Amino acid sequence: MIDLIGYGAFFLTTALIFSLISLGLNLQWGLTGLFNVGVAGFVAIGAYVSALLTTPHDAARFGGFELPILAGWLGAMLVAGVAAAITGFATLRLKSDYLAITTFGVAVVVQLVALNAQSLTGGAFGIGFIPRPFAALAETPLLFNLSNVAIVAAVTLVAYLALQHLSKSPWGRVLKALREDERAAISLGKSARFYRVQAFAVGGALMGLAGAVQAHFIGFIAPDNYAPMLTFQVWVMLIVGGSGSNIGAIVGSILVWAIWAGSGALTATLFAPEQQARAASLQIVAIGVMLCLILLFRPNGLFGNMTQRRRIRLGQRKPS
């Protein structure tokens, strides 16, 4: 029973970290309509920045400033936010597919830098000895996991409440207007550039924070953690939960992560050890099937309003 609670806490910690990333994506896509397919890149930036700021000195690479974990998290948000703002500024003229291609390119560049800039990132071996919150409790796994889930839940709750407040504010109203019709919003005196960059930056900062929280939870990071699969997972989480809904982003993350972890456990049980590597692909299949089912039977996700938007667009074409 204690093991089960411990695993539950571990599972929820990971799921809530994904929730943080999904909340960032929801601000960019769900609220503002910015098609960011480079999510993994901003998560990676946050993870590496926090790791460099908080790890012990290492002569083989840059960093190792031994700052407190909180400073690492703030640094991660700042650098990932600035990186996202620069990306947003550089892609001001791009929309939909072109914006997606560019952000995907950014994520690939970040991953390649993480892999090759050995003196900065530790290269393929990554960065270890990242300080973990409540490390003193590590000998008691249950307490350690419960402490971690509490702190991650608190961070997620603060992010959720802040985003809820913003989405109902005049600032959020402008973002929704840009999502609905950028030209109309501009004609009403709103600077599309200014708000697009802001939405990119705040969303990127949240993704960076999630990367940092995850890095400190696991204690080790490597470039493989930030492959395009991470972006895919987060998009599925948001679509399942419902684009445009903050609560949907959180519920979708927990649900999809449950299926991901559950299908992983199932393949480990059902397949022989020599087939495990190939069987792992079934996790992706499970997520894909779930995505198809959601799109077929509940295209607006569990809490979202995408269908409504599609109907609206169709409705607008009808002559009055």
Nearer of residues 191 and 276 to another protein, judged by Cβ: 191
User: How many Cβ atoms are within 10 Å of 164's Cβ, its own excluded?
Assistant: 14
310 near another protein (CB under 8 A): no
User: How many Cβ atoms are within 10 Å of 259's Cβ, its own excluded?
Assistant: 16
Nearer of residues 202 and 215 to another protein, judged by Cβ: 202
CB 193 → another protein: shortest distance, Å?
9
Q: What do you get for the CA distance between the two ends of the chain, in Å?
A: 63
308 near another protein (CB under 8 A): yes
- 138-167 footprint of another protein as x/- string (CB under 8 A): ------------------------x--xx-
Handedness of CA 177, 175, 308, 231 (dihedral sign): positive
Residue in 177, 206, 207, 215 binding another protein, rule: CB under 8 A: 177
Amino acid found at 235: W
Distance CA 54, CA 68 (A): 6
Distance CA 233, CA 235 (A): 6
Residue in 169, 275, 276, 281 binding another protein, rule: CB under 8 A: 169
CB 312 → another protein: shortest distance, Å?
4
Span interacting with another protein, options 10-18, 52-60, 142-150, 179-187, rule CB under 8 A: 179-187
User: By three-state DSSP, how is residue 66 classified?
Assistant: coil
Say how many residues touch another protein, by CB under 8 A. 34
315 near another protein (CB under 8 A): yes
Give me the half-sphere count of Cα atoms (radius 13 Å) on the Cβ side of residue 190. 21
Residue in 60, 70, 90, 184 binding another protein, rule: CB under 8 A: 184
Nearer of residues 179 and 216 to another protein, judged by Cβ: 179
User: By three-state DSSP, how is residue 221 classified?
Assistant: strand
183 near another protein (CB under 8 A): yes
193-252 residues near another protein, rule: CB under 8 A: 198, 202
The answer to whether the CB of 199 falls within 8 A of the CB of 28 is yes
Span interacting with another protein, options 39-47, 91-99, 120-128, 169-177, rule CB under 8 A: 169-177
140 dihedral zone (left: phi>0; alpha: psi -120 to 50; beta): beta
